[in-house]
Chains A and B, each alone.
Chain A
Amino acid sequence: MSATATCPPAETTRHRVDVAFGMAIFIGAWSMAFLTLFLSFLIIRHRQPQWPPPGVMLPSLGLAAAGTAVLLASSVALHAALRRLRAGARGFSARWAAGLLLALVFAGLQTALWTGTWRAGAYPDSGIYEGLFYMLTWFHGAHVACGLVALLWVAGAAARAGAPRLSTASSVAVFWHFVDALWLVLFVGFFLV
């Protein structure tokens, strides 16, 4: 939808609050979806006589931990970029690009995690543990992919128009923080505990 089509409303504070409100409901809805999946994971796990099931190949903890660190770093970078945008200072694009780069690194780590586990012979249908692992990480991976597209979109807008609209940038950052929080809960719930 080209921008002229709906000629986006003026960037008034009222509009910014509207977007923030809409974003809050969106995050609420998606957290309900994730909560359902996580609760199902807990229930299935509770039903298993032994967890993790004996003789199962545990996905590598190192990669997951590295991913967590990288993801947190990318969120910090995005937050710094937003502070610059709000203050009207210059450094927004650089920090936003750093955040984007870290996100790409995280995506790389995730794919490494998947291919490693897959090549080690743990397929989704080889057991309930692997099934849950793939389900949770794939669901999160899908959101990482959407987040990457959004980050690119904002980076593109920043490149073209000097600085993106604050409401768009802040909502994408909020979405990325949400994806970050999802990963933390997942990392603790599946890998550590």
Chain B
Amino acid sequence: MTRLLLNSGAALALLAAVAGLLAPGDEAAQDEHAAPASPAAGPHARAPHAVPLTITQPDQLLAWVKDIERRAADEPDRFSQQDEVWVDARGEFTWDEENEVYWQAVPADLLTRGRQDFVQFCASCHGLQGDGYGRSAQGLRPPPRSFLRSTFKFTKVPGDFLPNDDALVALVQHGLDGTPMLPWAVSKERLREIVQYIKSLSPPEEGWHDGTNVIGNEIYTPDDPWAGREDEAVAEGEKAYHVNQCWSCHPAYVPVAELNSLRGVDAATTYDAKLTYGKLKTDSSYEVQGYAVAIPAPDFTWHTLRYSRDARETFQTIAAGIAGAGMPTWGRTSPEGKGSVPDETIWAIAHYVRHLVDTYHGKTAERAAFMAGVRAEP
């Protein structure tokens, strides 16, 4: 009796197995439902076999460092003076006579390891050529960074300087929230090698290959003057946010009347309809496949902020500005320098932004009520 059961089962199975194999891909047949009209197969649609892996040419990466004295003061342990040659704690800066710059030699095998780790971890989004157009980046907004442009948005180093290695490594280990850029669990040593490779991608006479560029430091971050007086900071921040016209890119968070009174202009001035929405910044200098991608400025009550998990990070993002995305450097690059907005105000704005995020982000009901009040219409 069990034999009868077994034989019938086997016959049914053979039929099912062959039918299954030949079945047209379980109703996902290619023809009538075109599989996702995902963007046309991009240039890196398939990993080429000949993935250029090993870097053989001996001319290593030349990282030019100009203002060596200032940086020595900031990080005493990093540089120790041994007669004429400054020795960086991690490598060796040598003095170049006629260009009067210090440069750092990065050996070819280190770049090779960096290239291999880059292909393993980063190439799926940043592309095998590092041009920001990887397989997983098709249709992704905001698009992944292209390392051929050597501008970086969130390294906390002011835009007109080149980010130093530690800033880049910290950025990768921090990850950008709300984007596929993960907080990578890759060790610092491997990340340093990947970063050296990324620096070697900048085109000739640009970025790290341009001797005149200066490798900057993290933006100067004074202590929080408002520590303990957060609500005062939020009130001051709200005022400063609207006076300094942050709402020209970001949404405004006060009704029009209050905005006018805060700005001290006559009460009748009107604004366009997009006042309470993040404006689309089309002048960002960042392209994908030759098309300049317009990036909407984030609405703090709605979007996930990429690099501001607390007030200090928010302060640094505002102070250092976002290179290539229309957010200027508001803070000051060094203790003596003069920022376009005093630090205390930037701290207040930072607290105000954190307040907006903490009270409204992800809380649909509270946010709807708040925005309805601001827009004074349904």
Contact = CB atoms under 8 A, between A and B. Distances in A.
Contact of B22 (A46, A48, A49, A125): A46
Contacts of B22: 42-43, 46
A160 interface: no
Contacts of A46: 22, 24
A9 to B, nearest CB: 39
B30 A49 contact: yes
Interface residues of A, number: 8
A58 interface: no
Interface in A17-47: 39, 42-43, 46-47
A97 B22 CA distance: 44
B59 interface: no
A49 B35 CA distance: 12
A38 B22 CA distance: 13
Contacts of B29: 47
Contacts of A42: 22
Interface residues of B, number: 8
A36 to B, nearest CB: 11
Interface string B12-38: 000000000110110001110000000
B30 A47 contact: yes
B21 A43 contact: yes
Nearest to B21: A43
A42 B21 CA distance: 10
B154 to A, nearest CB: 39
A39 B20 CA distance: 12
B228 to A, nearest CB: 65
Contacts of A125: 49
B21 A49 contact: no
Contacts of A43: 21-22
Contacts of A39: 21
Contacts of B24: 46-47
A147 B29 CA distance: 41
Contacts of B30: 47-49
Contacts of A49: 30-31
Interface in B38-52: 49
Nearest to A42: B22
Nearest to B46: A125
Nearest to B30: A49
A24 to B, nearest CB: 22
A51 to B, nearest CB: 12
A136 B49 CA distance: 21
A43 B23 CA distance: 9
Interface of A: 39, 42-43, 46-49, 125
Given A43-B21, A46-B24, A47-B29, 11 more contacts: A39-B21, A42-B22, A43-B22, A46-B22, A47-B24, A47-B25, A47-B30, A48-B30, A49-B30, A49-B31, A125-B49
5 contacts: A39-B21, A43-B21, A46-B22, A47-B29, A47-B30
Ranked nearest first, the 6 interchain pairs of A and B with the lowest CB-CB distance are A49-B31, A49-B30, A43-B21, A47-B25, A46-B22, A43-B22
